[in-house]
Amino acid sequence: MASFQVTEQNFETYERGVPRLNAIRQAIAEADQEKHVYWQFRFRYDYIEESVFCGDRYYALIMFPELLQHYDAHPELQDDANITHSLLVNFRWIVEAAPEFPQISKAEIDNYFRLFRRRLLENDYSLSIYYMKRSLFYLDIDLDIASSDFYKFLESPLDSIADGKPLYYNHQVEYYLAMDEEEKALKAAEPIFSGRMKSSALPHSTLHKFCRYHVLKGDYEKALSYAKQFEHTVTGDLYYLHHIGTLLALYAHTDPAHAAKLFNRHYPLFLSSKNPWLRAAFLAGAAAFAKWADTQQLLVLVSGAVQADDPTQFAQQLCRDAEEVAGKFDQRNGTSIFTDRIRAFCAGL
């Protein structure tokens, strides 16, 4: 046991992302070999956490069924309230991550949500987080269901599985903007913008939501006022590729040279990401930028980071890729929201 503790402490010595995931993978194999029930669970938990927060969530989705199966097979784990809590925290990440992969069908995601709900109820947790994540998923699919879940989320008490008060407000912003209710969104954002509510993802995530809302509406001046408040905190971070996508679309309309700089800096990150949702969001903005670049025949795309023999062809390829990945999401969701977003980003270019 002590040696596994040391193993876990040593994870910190590895670089975040794939190197650390590999190290945890090795630890899982060792715990499995020794059939150490607790550490089999614990290392899988660590693996999922690392994948969610420092990777692209892809590996988390692969690992989660193993974690669940292991938990269900061992009553001694189920009897430990802390372990159950950890499982549910993991589950929360998974229901958020699953919709980001279009290869996971809507029926499978609905099933994940149902299972998550059951586990929450069985263990006497609030359904707040369930309603929050499900309303988020349904914002791209069915606004009726999204609104029903959203209001139930507002009326459910927050508990230790919930995302916390700052993200409670942040989700309200997401919802109200999706419903084109900017005034309500601004009111919900007030605790965040005043600095009273913070988290590692705030306020930049909230600022980004407003920025994207205005880009989609074609109000670039307002979008810029939000963009300059969060751009410096998200650049260079794999986790925020979707923010970069929005910025690319915005700058394609307002400052193409800056868009080119951003694109060149983040394109390698984009290539390394396995998360389709992040990729789609990045590509949607990149398509707007490429469309502008295509029409202007500007060669700014080619830089040390982006080696393209034929910039025009490269730009066209970006647009096709964007349409393709957006189409996959739309097909899964039975809507055209992802494709419409690309069109809105590109409008007027």
Partner 1 sequence: MFSAKEFNDQIYEAPHGEPRLKLLANAIAAADEASESRWQLQYRLDYIEESTFHDDNYKAIVAFPELLKLFDEHPELEDDYCDDVMQAFKWVLENTFDFYQISREEIERYFDEFEKRCKKYGHSLRVFYMKKCKFYLMADMDKVPENYEAFHRFKRGINSDCEACEMSFDMKVALALGNEEEALRIAQPLLRGEKHCAEVPHCTYGELAEHYLYKGDIAEAHFYGTQCERLIGTDAVFLTEMGILLELYSAADAQHGWTLFKQSLGQFLACRNPLMKMHYARGAYRLVKVIADSMKDSPDGAYSKSAVLRSLPLTFTDKGVSLYEVSDWFFAQAKDQCEKLDKRNESTRYTDLLNTDLQAASEAFVPEQHRTQHGIVPKQRAVFAVTLPADKKPSIEELKERVHFPEGTEVLTCSAEEQQLFLVVRRDGIVTEYVLAAQELPPGMPARPVAGMSDETFGEMMDVSLKYMLSMEYGSTPMLEMHHAMQLLYQLFPDMLGVVDMRTWHAYPRNWVKFAASYEHGVTPDDLFGLFISGSEETGEIEMTTTGLCALGLRELVISGTNEENYGDFAELLDFAAKAAVVQNMLPDAGTAFGSFRIGEQELSFTWTDVADCGEQQNRDISEEQGIPSGFLLVQTADGAAVLPTDYEPLTEEEAQFPSIHKDFLRRIRLAKETYQAFEALMQQPFARAAVRLEYRMSEDMADEYGYSIELLWGDAVRKDGKIIQQVGETAETLPDIHEGDETEVEPDAVADWFIQPKGSERTYGCQNLFYLWEEAEA
Q: Which is nearer to partner 1, 157 or 304 (CB)?
A: 157
User: Judged by CB under 8 A, does residue 158 bind partner 1?
Assistant: no
56: three-class secondary structure by DSSP = coil
Question: How far is residue 272's CA from residue 238's CA, in Å, rounded to a whole number?
Answer: 9
User: Judged by CB under 8 A, does residue 72 bind partner 1?
Assistant: no
State the minimum distance, in angstroms, from the CB of residue 197 to partner 1.
11
User: Judged by CB under 8 A, does residue 196 bind partner 1?
Assistant: yes
State the minimum distance, in angstroms, from the CB of residue 213 to partner 1.
18
User: Judged by CB under 8 A, does residue 305 bind partner 1?
Assistant: no
Spatial contact of 170 and 101, defined as CB atoms under 8 Å apart: no
Q: Which is nearer to partner 1, 42 or 134 (CB)?
A: 134
164-183 residues in contact with partner 1 (CB under 8 A) are 179
Which segments of 98-219 does DSSP mark as H helices, in order?
Answer: 106-122, 128-138, 143-155, 165-178, 182-193, 204-217
Q: What are the residues whose beta carbons fall under 8 Å from the beta carbon of 42, sequence distance 6 or more?
A: 4, 8, 31
226-265 residues in contact with partner 1 (CB under 8 A) are 228-229, 232-233
Q: Which member of 108, 198, 257, 310 binds partner 1 (CB under 8 A)? A: 198
Q: Which is nearer to partner 1, 125 or 277 (CB)?
A: 125
User: Judged by CB under 8 A, does residue 151 bind partner 1?
Assistant: yes
User: Judged by CB under 8 A, does residue 194 bind partner 1?
Assistant: yes
Q: Which is nearer to partner 1, 123 or 316 (CB)?
A: 123
Q: What are the residues whose beta carbons fall under 8 Å from the beta carbon of 179, sequence distance 6 or more?
A: 143, 147
State the minimum distance, in angstroms, from the CB of residue 180 to partner 1.
12
- At 267, give phi and psi (nearest 5°): -60, -45
Question: How far is residue 267's CA from residue 306's CA, in Å, rounded to a whole number?
Answer: 7
Residues that bind partner 1 (rule: CB under 8 A) add up to a total of 28
Residue 89-128 contact track with partner 1, rule CB under 8 A, x = bound = ---------------------xx--x--xx--xxxx----
What is residue 304's DSSP assignment?
S
Q: What are the residues whose beta carbons fall under 8 Å from the beta carbon of 274, sequence distance 6 or more?
A: 55, 56, 58
Radius of gyration of the chain (CA): 21
The DSSP bridge partners found for residue 199 are 202
User: Judged by CB under 8 A, does residue 335 bind partner 1?
Assistant: no
Q: Which member of 16, 30, 80, 148 binds partner 1 (CB under 8 A)? A: 148
What is residue 348's DSSP assignment?
T
Question: How far is residue 167's CA from residue 271's CA, in Å, rounded to a whole number?
Answer: 29
For helices 81-97 and 128-138, the axis angle rounded to 10 degrees is 10
Residue with tokens 């084109």: 180
Q: Which is nearer to partner 1, 247 or 278 (CB)?
A: 247
Q: Which is nearer to partner 1, 85 or 117 (CB)?
A: 117
State the minimum distance, in angstroms, from the CB of residue 261 to partner 1.
19
Q: Which is nearer to partner 1, 113 or 277 (CB)?
A: 113
User: Judged by CB under 8 A, does residue 337 bind partner 1?
Assistant: no
Closest CA to 300 of 315, 288, 279, 287: 315
Residues near partner 1, by CB under 8 A: 110-111, 114, 117-118, 121-124, 143-148, 151, 154-155, 179, 193-196, 198, 228-229, 232-233
